[in-house]
Structure 1
Amino acid sequence: MLLESSPQNINMPLTLPRLFGWAAQQFDTKAAIREAGSDISYRELNDLRCRAGRAFLAMGVGRGDRVAIWALNSAQWIVAAAGAQSVGAILVPLNTRLQGSEAADILRRAGVKLLLTVTELEKGEPLAMLAEHALPDLQHQILLPSAVTGSVEAMSWDAFLASAAQADDAKFIAAERAVNPFDSADMLFTSGTTGKAKGVLCSHEQNIRVFQSWSATVGLRSDDNYLIVNPFFHSFGYKAGWLAAIISGATILPMAKFDKRSVLETIQRDKVTMLPGAPSLYEMLLNAPERSDYDLSSLRLGVTGAASVPVQLVRDMRDILGFETVVTAYGLTESTGVVSICRPEDEPETIATTSGRAIEGVELICAAPNTGEEVPRGCEGEVWLRGYNVMQGYFDMPEATADAITAEGWLKTGDIGVMDERGYLRITDRLKDMYIMNGENVYPAEVEKVLYGVAGIAQVAVIGVPKAPQGEVGMAFVVKKAGSDISAQAVSEHCSQHLARYKCPFYVEFVDILPMNASGKVLKTELKILAATLLSSKK
């Protein structure tokens, strides 16, 4: 029997293993995951989760151990994550676009004990890319199902699941019951302005409470068919994706790689009702010449954010793509993924020009960065929040945690915003230099560090510049060393060898000098003015 009440009104279990057990009882034979024409029911999903949990125990994984997943969206990703969390392990999702050196740095600093991956990702074969790096804590490597055979030997997914038979059922039940709502459930890595990745710890309770509230606010229902294009390594695909779907009893349709035609085909074939994504996703669908060849009438709910949203896009999503409900939201990894959200009844102008108001139970202010005092409504200030969604802290980085969270519990986001009299927030700038490409955060300091490794570069500065449909892309301003004949192509090739693709600058511009202030700091505001001039001349 499906529950028709809002998820916010249900006494929800507050650990992942209990949540999966609860969902199996509530939704039983209803499809939890539909992939490649095959359904996994909620009861079957819970059984798989328990089997994976026993397999992790058989591998020696237990409470507090770190388990990483470096793979594209799939049913196995969900089963592996839930299985690991069921024995008290901490999930560490890895961005599928990372280079081997970037992934190895995270695995090493997180002390990951077991890695689940695939035979092929964007940058090559993951295990081969890791082979040259020292990973002293990594004891096991599991290959999720793949049509390609990897060159590095590892245990198969089927063999991993079969190892569950070696685990004692009583020990698994005890481990499952020992998981506490306040235990860390995951560690999502987010780069800082220094370019060093930080592992953000969030608890089981935080994840479930935040996305119970999120699901109720956006109106996610048990009869929804939820197409998840957003990657599972990101909060948008993981927490606002499959976790929210399980909380609500929706059917999960994982998509491994974004492909416009595949999205259109899936919407028509599986009667997709829920389709969240960055604004560029909807713009691609609106601009697709073949869109009229597909029946998109099932679309009901769209949730976007991560970039500025034109008012016309919100109208087009409703009028052309047929969405009944469109909302925008704002969040960051340190806030368990959500800070504020618009409401379905808000006007298109509000949805497009603001990030909504704070979720229930969370305080939100715009503060004077130096004093922490709230600025008057309508004035710019740093966005601060306080509540149950504030991260537990950065893993093994107490000083960075203390810098981010005040003694009074306020999380300083580093974003600049304006709040109106209704409590609706508009993000206007970033204290950090971060820019967002296709929903992915890019930190210029990290890119600049790589570029300084290029022979022939004397100075470099990277900024984000607007470009449709990505939202923003990188522009690198490069000062050559005397006598250097380095080309833009050489700069781009170096980046592609050392950085994930979304971090690579889209534009490379050579300049004689970089604008600097008296203390020698690059004036990126002036670079933005120069970039606007250069981009206008390229049109």
Structure 2
Amino acid sequence: MAVYVGMLRLGRLCAASRGVLGARAALFRTWQEAKLQSVRPLSSREADRTSPLPIGGLSYIQGCTRIRLVSKTVGQCLDATAQRVPDREALVVLHENMRLTFAQLKEEVDKAASGLLSIGLCKGDRLGMWGPNSYAWVLMQLATAQAMELEYVLKKVGCKALVFPKQFKTQQYYDILKQICPELENAQPGALKSQRLPDLTTVISVDAPLPGTLLLDEVVAAGSTQQHLDRLRYTQQFLSCHDPINILFTSGTTGSPKGATLSHYNIVNNSNMIGERLRLHLKTAEELRVILPSPLYHCLGSVGGTMTCILHGATLILSSPIFNGKKALEAISRERGSMLYGTPTMYVDILNQPDFSSYDISSMCGGVIAGSPAPPELIRAIINKMNMKELVVAYGTTENSPVTFMNFPDDTVEQKSESVGRILPHTEAQILNMEAGTLVALNTPGELCIRGYCVMLGYWGEPQKTKEVVGQEKWYRTGDIAMMDEQGFCKIVGRFKDMIIRGGENIYPAELEDFFHTHPQVQEVQVVGVKDSRMGEEICACIRLKNGEKTTAEEIKAFCKGKIAHFKIPRYIVFVTDYPLTISGKVQKFKLREQMEQHLNL
């Protein structure tokens, strides 16, 4: 279940929303406009063509500052783009047959934001969006949120409003909500009083009249009146770029998700830096057609995708409600997509479509891969097989808005396959010895820490957990183990919590995963540590083979001999068909570890 939380800000609700725009709330017409309204494309023409180098042989680097930071809201950025390229396509939702220009999108967002004001939502209220990728999502968002149970999210942030479709496939959203909120069925629309969810008063249905709910079309229509539009204009003047706009929940790869609260300043500037690094300002309209199969409640979709497109005037094309590799290829071919966003798992699925070669992907030139470590062999396959010469690897965390390291489009294939690129502007990074807390030498693993405009405001309602990761000097501890080389390229070795300690030896799963991807029969692999009474932990490789391939554990171990250190050869080889994933497509290694220990009777 994915619920997105956005902060409601009276002026263009989405644009300044302090509330929680549920997992897809940010993308709703009114809501999105509300958020988009505060967004304005950055005008800097200077490309970030060079990156600073580490100094003194230590793993510390500071990004350049030639590109100015922007003190604009999301709504202001949308306004600017709509004025600059009003007739360019802004949003294409293929599964809903929906197309809007930037001028039309701005108009719809204004009406939606006005409509939300008209039904009593105020500055500081949180609105949740719940459902798959859709036009409503885009309108209601521009900020993302991540996955978790509905009641947990709604209670955590005190959602006042929730927006969702009646159902998607077998998911009956209304019926699920009634289970935790039985008062809904007999409630007056807009005046819900729930015992378990005391903050929730307004429930909005996207596509069907339902007892106790308002219909989204009616809310938008109410916002079309001059009176409500005037009120919207009035409230906009009180918005600040430092106001919170989104509460994005971490993906829960290592445990319970936390709500990272981001401001307009966070996401507007990060989106601008992403677009500058991609050199979107140098591209033609035909080269600015972004295919987005990633979920909108994830930072890669909401900030890297939606917000970056809004800022730089690119066309955002949603290929399907949920990820579908075949639909992504169809969108590239049909819409002449030039760029593609996705996680490693998504790219693996796209490349392995049985009819991959039948699609016309000649319009492709680049894209972004992010969300989890990408094996070098996969990077090379994407560049060569999908015509994506300008593919870049991006690294970041939800808490950092999200991207902090990223390749340049013209980096070499080796630089892209062996690193996550170089530091973004206005961002500092340091790698520390995990025990001593001191800077490590270059090419030495340690914990990666980030400081700058991109660091979140904090975890919603959890000041203690915020203090655990953001120190007094405002460094954010990522929990990722990384190395930095002399040119400032960063390589993610793994998660500190995922590191395997076998008989006193530190073993990084990402290193072994990269190695196993060189095996011709392996499609995907995840390495975890499982408990062992003698060694403390043993290595377990969970391998997904390519279609039609067969091999044995003994053959896999034989492949390892002489190529990697003996102590790094996994004791256990388990062949699997899938992995436990978060809704955003990341592997939940803590669950995989539990599954393997149970499977191996440990």
User: Same fold per TM (> 0.5)?
Assistant: yes
1:359 to 2:419 alignment:
no
Q: Is the 8 A contact 1:280 1:468 kept in 2?
A: no
Q: In the alignment, what sits opposite 2:279? A: 219
Q: So what's the TM-score if we normalise by structure 2?
A: 0.68
Partner of 1:214: helix, strand, or coil?
A: helix
Q: 2:302 aligns with which of 232, 238, 263?
A: 238
Q: Is the 8 A contact 1:94 1:103 kept in 2?
A: no
Q: Is the 8 A contact 2:422 2:490 kept in 1?
A: yes
Q: Name the aligned partner's letter for residue 156 of structure 1.
A: L
Q: Is the 8 A contact 2:433 2:439 kept in 1?
A: yes
User: Following the alignment from structure 1 to structure 2, what is the Cα–Cα distance between the partners of residues 340 and 501?
Assistant: 19
Q: Is the 8 A contact 2:372 2:586 kept in 1?
A: no
Q: What are the within-5 Å matches in structure 2 for residues 35-434 of structure 1?
A: 35-36=93-94, 37-81=97-141, 93=145, 95=147, 98=148, 102-121=149-168, 124-133=171-180, 134-145=196-207, 153-165=212-224, 168-190=228-250, 195-220=255-280, 221=283, 223=285, 224-255=288-319, 256-433=321-498
Q: CA deviation at 1:259?
A: 2.2
Partner of 2:277: helix, strand, or coil?
A: helix
Q: Name the aligned partner's letter for residue 251 of structure 1.
A: T
Q: CA deviation at 1:317?
A: 2.2
User: Following the alignment from structure 2 to structure 1, what is the Cα–Cα distance between the partners of residues 47 and 100?
Assistant: 22
Decide whether aligned partners of structure 1 residues 469 and 6 sit closer, same or farther in structure 2, where only a CA change above 3 A counts: farther
Decide whether aligned partners of structure 1 residues 6 and 113 sit closer, same or farther in structure 2, where only a CA change above 3 A counts: farther
Partner of 2:492: helix, strand, or coil?
A: strand
Q: CA deviation at 1:413?
A: 0.7
Q: In the alignment, what sits opposite 1:22? A: 80
Q: In the alignment, what sits opposite 1:491? A: none
Decide whether aligned partners of structure 1 residues 125 and 192 sit closer, same or farther in structure 2, where only a CA change above 3 A counts: closer
Q: Is the 8 A contact 1:229 1:257 kept in 2?
A: yes
Structure 2: runs of 5 or more not aligned: 1-40, 49-66, 181-195, 500-508, 514-525, 529-536, 547-579
Partner of 1:132: helix, strand, or coil?
A: helix
User: Following the alignment from structure 2 to structure 1, what is the Cα–Cα distance between the partners of residues 267 and 545?
Assistant: 31
User: Following the alignment from structure 2 to structure 1, what is the Cα–Cα distance between the partners of residues 488 and 144?
Assistant: 34
Q: CA deviation at 1:123?
A: 6.6
Partner of 2:481: helix, strand, or coil?
A: strand
Q: Name the aligned partner's letter for residue 73 of structure 2.
A: T
Q: Name the aligned partner's letter for residue 245 of structure 2.
A: A
Q: CA deviation at 1:508?
A: 5.3
Decide whether aligned partners of structure 1 residues 103 and 349 sit closer, same or farther in structure 2, where only a CA change above 3 A counts: same
Q: Name the aligned partner's letter for residue 34 of structure 1.
A: V
User: Following the alignment from structure 1 to structure 2, what is the Cα–Cα distance between the partners of residues 502 and 115?
Assistant: 28
Q: Name the aligned partner's letter for residue 73 of structure 1.
A: N
Q: CA deviation at 1:78?
A: 1.7
Q: Is the 8 A contact 1:222 1:250 kept in 2?
A: no
Decide whether aligned partners of structure 1 residues 268 and 227 sit closer, same or farther in structure 2, where only a CA change above 3 A counts: same
Q: CA deviation at 1:287?
A: 2.4
User: Following the alignment from structure 1 to structure 2, what is the Cα–Cα distance between the partners of residues 5 and 469?
Assistant: 46
Superposed CA deviations along residues 160-195 of structure 1, whole A, max 9, x for unmatched, are 212214653332112222110100010001266883
Superposed CA deviations along residues 215-255 of structure 1, whole A, max 9, x for unmatched, are 11023346211111110000000000111011110111113
Higher RCO (Cα < 8 Å, 6 or more apart): 2
Q: Name the aligned partner's letter for residue 237 of structure 1.
A: G
Decide whether aligned partners of structure 1 residues 259 and 191 sit closer, same or farther in structure 2, where only a CA change above 3 A counts: closer
Q: 1:33 aligns with which of 54, 66, 91?
A: 91
User: Following the alignment from structure 1 to structure 2, what is the Cα–Cα distance between the partners of residues 352 and 112?
Assistant: 42
User: Following the alignment from structure 2 to structure 1, what is the Cα–Cα distance between the partners of residues 306 and 379?
Assistant: 24
Structure 1: runs of 5 or more not aligned: 83-90, 445-460, 471-494, 515-539
Q: CA deviation at 1:308?
A: 3.2
Superposed CA deviations along residues 8-55 of structure 1, whole A, max 9, x for unmatched, are 869966101111111110111111112244421101111111101111
Q: CA deviation at 1:265?
A: 1.7
Decide whether aligned partners of structure 1 residues 22 and 410 sit closer, same or farther in structure 2, where only a CA change above 3 A counts: same
Q: CA deviation at 1:67?
A: 1.0
Q: Is the 8 A contact 2:253 2:587 kept in 1?
A: no
Q: Is the 8 A contact 1:68 1:92 kept in 2?
A: no
Q: Is the 8 A contact 1:68 1:93 kept in 2?
A: no
Q: Is the 8 A contact 1:71 1:117 kept in 2?
A: yes
User: Following the alignment from structure 2 to structure 1, what is the Cα–Cα distance between the partners of residues 475 and 271?
Assistant: 21
User: Following the alignment from structure 1 to structure 2, what is the Cα–Cα distance between the partners of residues 300 and 463?
Assistant: 39
Partner of 1:427: helix, strand, or coil?
A: strand
Q: CA deviation at 1:370?
A: 3.7
Q: Is the 8 A contact 1:7 1:213 kept in 2?
A: no
> After the TM superposition, which of the residue ranges 40-49 and 118-127 deviates more from structure 2?
118-127
Q: Name the aligned partner's letter for residue 56 of structure 1.
A: L
Superposed CA deviations along residues 188-216 of structure 1, whole A, max 9, x for unmatched, are 01266883331101110111111101111
User: Following the alignment from structure 2 to structure 1, what is the Cα–Cα distance between the partners of residues 586 and 484?
Assistant: 35
Q: In the alignment, what sits opposite 2:18? A: none
Q: Name the aligned partner's letter for residue 197 of structure 1.
A: P
Partner of 1:282: helix, strand, or coil?
A: helix
Q: Name the aligned partner's letter for residue 310 of structure 2.
A: I
> After the TM superposition, which of the residue ranges 333-342 and 216-225 deviates more from structure 2?
216-225
Decide whether aligned partners of structure 1 residues 92 and 362 sit closer, same or farther in structure 2, where only a CA change above 3 A counts: closer
Q: Name the aligned partner's letter for residue 27 of structure 1.
A: V
User: Following the alignment from structure 1 to structure 2, what is the Cα–Cα distance between the partners of residues 104 and 393?
Assistant: 21
Partner of 1:131: helix, strand, or coil?
A: helix
Q: Name the aligned partner's letter for residue 309 of structure 1.
A: A
Q: Name the aligned partner's letter for residue 462 of structure 2.
A: M
Q: So what's the TM-score if we normalise by structure 1?
A: 0.76
Q: Is the 8 A contact 2:144 2:303 kept in 1?
A: no
Q: Is the 8 A contact 1:127 1:152 kept in 2?
A: no
Q: Name the aligned partner's letter for residue 129 of structure 1.
A: I
Superposed CA deviations along residues 116-150 of structure 1, whole A, max 9, x for unmatched, are 111224772123212232211111111223xxx58
User: Following the alignment from structure 1 to structure 2, what is the Cα–Cα distance between the partners of residues 122 and 364?
Assistant: 44
